[in-house]
Amino acid sequence: MDRYENQNHSEPENQEQEYHDHTNQEHNHQERQADTHQPAAEDNRRYKKDRRKAGLTGFIGAVIGALIVAAVIPFVYGDNMSSSNAAGGSSSAQEETSNAAAPETTDMSVQSVDVSSGVTDAVGGVSDAVVGIFRNQQGGLLQEGSSETQGAGSGVIYKTEGDSAFVVTNNHVIEGANQIEVGLTDENRVEAEVVGTDSLTDLAVLRISSENVNTVAEFGDSSTLSVGEPAIAIGNPLGNLNGTVTKGIISSVDRSIPVDTNGDGRTDWTSDVLQTDAAINPGNSGGALINIEGQVIGINSMKIAQTQVEGIGFAIPSNTVVPILEDLEENGKVERPQLGVTIGSLSQIPSYHWQETLNLPEDVQEGVFVNSVQQGSAAEQAGLQQYDVITAINGNEITNGQDLRSFLYNQASIDQTIEVTFYRDGSRQTTELTLGQSGTQMG
């Protein structure tokens, strides 16, 4: 019993001792274990710290590298990249704007624009009165497409009277033709009859049926023209470009052009014409030169056909044309009062001839000189001679050839007696003469 009790009391003591020993052993084991792992933990901490440093260093290096690249790129690619970016940005902006502003539906209707002007109005009012002139010089019928049917020139319908319409054109356009047709703007061709011609002014009148004529041209006053004002030519250049319009200005209102009517190389007439830079090509002859009001101010007549000359065309002034047309309609020719002389203006010869050849006083600087006297004429009967200088007729001052022709055509009449003032050998003289008649010669 005692032993049993002793055994029961001794067991806890042993267990406590064992527990204490075990605890000590565990503690010792942990201490040994701690001692064993302490260097490894320190190394691990150092490794992690080194990794953080290395990562930070790499990040900083990457940032620096990116900044360097960004700074270098503009120098490498230059404006291309800038333009591309700008274009891309602009395109993107435009696309966004376009998308934002795009309507739900697209209007595809045709928009009417008013392009009318003074020129279009002027041309529109008279163009249908400008026609093509076609001629045949070899006999037989006019056949479409043959060389004989090519347009010879142009003409202008200026008057209708009953069943007839009258067309003015140039004399040289229809000269020598045995059959003539007029091409209207509706492309119909009608046969034409020659009413009268005048080789000196290069004018002719044709008659056609008025059946298909709807437009008649109106003549304007060529004496009111000014250099620099608009001039519009309408005609049939090259014989087949009917209704062609060219525009320019009046380059001169008083240009004298010598005319050789019979081809003998001598000047038979001095034509006073308008000069324009509106293009006048072969086939335009006989067409209209109009002003900005659509009035005919001249009939296109000739062009200096030289390769080195451009923009010089001529037209017979309307104030010269109208009385000629009246004579041609009435008589078939122009019956002009004439002196029986050929003349030239002082302004057309060098001034030293005024005293050395013509023996004029120094104060006489304007007039016309007699170049030749026709045998049996009124001038010969009145005693006029070569190199006499005419300065006045019936008290009207004569400064040039245009003044003389203007007096004869507009104020004088056949068989009228006139007083002529002239200079001969430096002295002023007068004589009377009765004007004769001529269908061709002037002066």
The one-letter amino acid code at 373 reads: V
- C-alpha–C-alpha distance, residues 309 and 311, integer Å: 7
How many C-beta atoms lie closer than 10 Å to residue 334's C-beta? 23
Per the DSSP assignment, residues forming a β-bridge with 233 are 246, 289
The gap between the terminal CA atoms of the chain, to the nearest Å, is 191
Radius of gyration, alpha carbons of the chain: 54
Nearest alpha carbon to residue 321 among 288, 279, 281? 288
Structure tokens at 382: 């009145």
Place of tokens 């002009």: 336
234 CB burial (10 A radius; 0-12, 13-18, 19+) = buried
Nearest alpha carbon to residue 299 among 121, 425, 126, 115? 126
Cα dihedral value 112, 117, 120, 126, nearest 10? 130
List alpha helices for 276-371, DSSP H. 318-331, 352-356
- C-alpha 1 chain-centroid distance: 150
Q: Kindly list the catalytic residues.
A: 172, 202, 285
List alpha helices for 127-273, DSSP H. 171-174
Structure tokens at 317: 């002034």
Phi, psi of 440 (to 5 degrees): -130, -50
